[in-house]
Amino acid sequence: MTTGLIAHGAWLPRARLQRAEIAHAHAWVAPGLKGLAKGERTMANWDEDAVTMAVEAVRDALGGLDPAGLGGVWMASTSFPFLDRQNVGIVADALALPREIITLDLASSQRSGTAALAVALRSAGGFDKPLVVVAAERSRAKAASTQEMTRGDGAAAFVVGQGEGVVARLLGQRSDAVDFVDHFRGEGAQFDYSWEERWVRDEGYLKIVPETLRGLFAQTGADPASIGHFVFPVAARRVAGQIAKAVGIPEGAVVDNLQATVGETGCAHPLLMLAGVLERARPGERILVAGFGQGCDALLFEVTEAIDRLPPRAGLSGALAGRREERRYARYLAFNDLLKMEYGIRSEVDKQTGLSTLYRNKAMSQALIGGRCIACGTPQFPASRICVNPNCGAVDSQEPHRFADTPATINSFTADRLTYTPDPPQYFGMVQFAGGGRMMADFTDIDPDADLQVGQPMKMVFRVKDYDPRRGFRRYFWKATPVQSVAAQAEGD
């Protein structure tokens, strides 16, 4: 039976920090950054992290697929918000997935994204349901470092399985483990420590990766000249082209590394680039994906006729189109805790989360599940024992009803500069769901130069509600964001 990729999805933060602003701020201490000052990089909002971006990427990948039909969700990241709590379990909760699935976190390497995809593809035959693989990164780098200029934040997700729905079938894969240390982040360290770039290029990229690719070609019998798209994530210019030339891959097959528009999104980057390729790939074309980090993973796919039947999704192109230019470098520093801000006494509140209360209410808070009266059909959030319909008033008549994917509009809103928020002012208001039901919600990703309007379309997104710095705990909830800011595909047309 054919094994491969069934669907793909992507998510990028809306804000795009202009690299020229970073270079200008550090010209006094690091004038050499001027050479990297072209283009822009994605910049996560204060309430975005690897978990929230993973949720949105998986939502995009699932499209019209039934989440209840999944057999597992595997997540890769080197920037997990929790070191001892399963992060992908939060993702599964937010997506309202059934309990009887396998959830797995993969970390500690830049190739954990391709490793997760490789293992899922090998495991697909042992599951009677598709698997989801998602990789997400929110990276932190020292101010005035090269990494601050070249990195970005984002996520990509794939549905993996078998059968006629496979849009890219797996032809073969190979993984080589080589403890080559190009950079590392030790226990308790905030930032990566990187080694000399030429050494990494000459001894790492240009020796380890070609050997893995040659082994894959020998294993599968594939001709390097048959590769139509070569995905290799590396910020350094020309490296992917040098690797392609070394193994006989056509120069025109090298896929854009998205450095000008996104930056390198860590272990998510090969998957993000692959998602972009699948948006334009045609049946019969071959895609070679490689991931580097303490060795190399290589996966070879061939696009099938099913690609033409894949339902539309925002994907990478939609995520790229939903951009908002950001020139406030200080905002980036504050959001990444690289600048200590005075937020006033209203921020000095103990934010301890009652874990027992969280568990009892997690269907409401993490999955946005309310109620729907089976007597009159009225939806409401949150659920309660009594139906809110004044013409009904039935007692204990509600069944679970999920609002996360229901379109909404603004009923009322306000912008509050007195309450504490890391990104003032605090926007919130009443949103009305299509088909019934309403809730008071925080708003996020609000363009300061745009005017909100009553009746404006909104979409619910999974975000960080608040953070407890004393205990290191993040609490999540759903917020409303203008539809324009979620990178709808139509915006890019």
For residue 174, is it within any domain? yes
Q: Which CATH number characterizes residue 92's domain? A: 3.40.47.10
**Does residue 47 form part of some domain?**
yes
Same domain? 389 vs 410: no
pLDDT one-digit tens code per residue, 154-163: 999 999 999 9
pLDDT tens-digit map of 81-120: 999 999 999 999 999 999 999 999 999 999 999 999 999 9
How far apart, in Å, do the first and last CA atoms of the chain sit?
Answer: 37
**Residue 44 in domain:** yes
Query: In which band, very low, low, confident or very high, does the pLDDT at 271 lie, cut at 50, 70 and 90?
Result: very high
Let me know: does 389 contact 364? Beta carbons within 8 Å.
no
| Residues 85 and 161 placed together within one structural domain of the fold | yes
Q: What is the pLDDT of residues 21-40, one digit of tens each?
A: 999 999 999 999 999 999 99
Give yes or no for residue 348 having a pLDDT over 90. Answer: no
Check whether residue 152 and residue 299 sit in a common domain: yes
The backbone region for 396, taken as left when phi is positive above 0, alpha when psi lies in -120 to 50, beta otherwise, is: left
Q: Please, what is the average pLDDT of the chain?
A: 95
pLDDT of residue 484: 66
Q: How confident is the model at residue 66 (pLDDT cuts 50, 70, 90)?
A: confident
Q: Which of 88, 168, 72, 86 is nearest to 120 (CA)?
A: 72
Residues 378 and 461 in one domain: no
Distance of alpha carbon 134 from alpha carbon 324, whole angstroms? 24
Do residue 296 and residue 435 come from a single domain? no
In this structure, the answer to whether residues 123 and 257 fall within a common structural domain is yes
Cβ count near 448 (within 10 Å)? 10
- Give me the domain span that covers residue 353: 345-364+406-492
Residue 66 lies in a domain: yes
Q: Would you place residue 490 in the very low, low, confident or very high pLDDT band (cuts 50, 70, 90)?
A: very low
Residue 262 pLDDT more than 90? yes
Is the same domain home to 305 and 398? no
Rounded mean pLDDT, 217-236: 97
Residue 340 domain flag:
no
Does 158 share its domain with 273?
yes
Residue range 118-147: average pLDDT?
A: 95
> 431 and 389, same structural domain?
no
Q: Is the confidence at residue 199, as pLDDT, over 60?
A: yes
Backbone angles phi, psi at 448, to 5 degrees: -65, -20
Given a cut of 70, whether residue 488 has pLDDT beyond it is no
What CATH number is associated with residue 354? 2.40.50
The predicted model gives 421-439 an average pLDDT of 96
**Residue 199 covered by a domain:** yes
Q: How do strand 72-76 and strand 131-137 relate by DSSP bridges?
A: parallel
Q: Report the domain count for the chain.
A: 3
Q: Is the dihedral of CA 402, 405, 411, 414 positive or negative?
A: positive
Task: Please determine, for residue 430, whether its predicted confidence score (pLDDT) is greater than 90.
Answer: yes
Report in angstroms the alpha-carbon separations of 64 from 59, 68, 131, 420: 9, 12, 15, 38
Same domain? 73 vs 147: yes
Binned at pLDDT 50, 70 and 90, residue 268 comes out as very high
pTM recorded for the entire structure? 0.95
DSSP assignment string, 277-337: HHHH--TT-EEEEEEESSEEEEEEEEE-GGGGGSPP--HHHHHHHT-EEE--HHHHHHHTT
Q: How many residues does the chain have?
A: 493
Residue 312 lies in a domain: yes
- In this structure, the answer to whether residues 443 and 329 fall within a common structural domain is no
Residues 375 and 413 in one domain: no
pLDDT of residue 489: 38
Instruction: Give me Rg for the CA atoms of the chain.
Output: 23
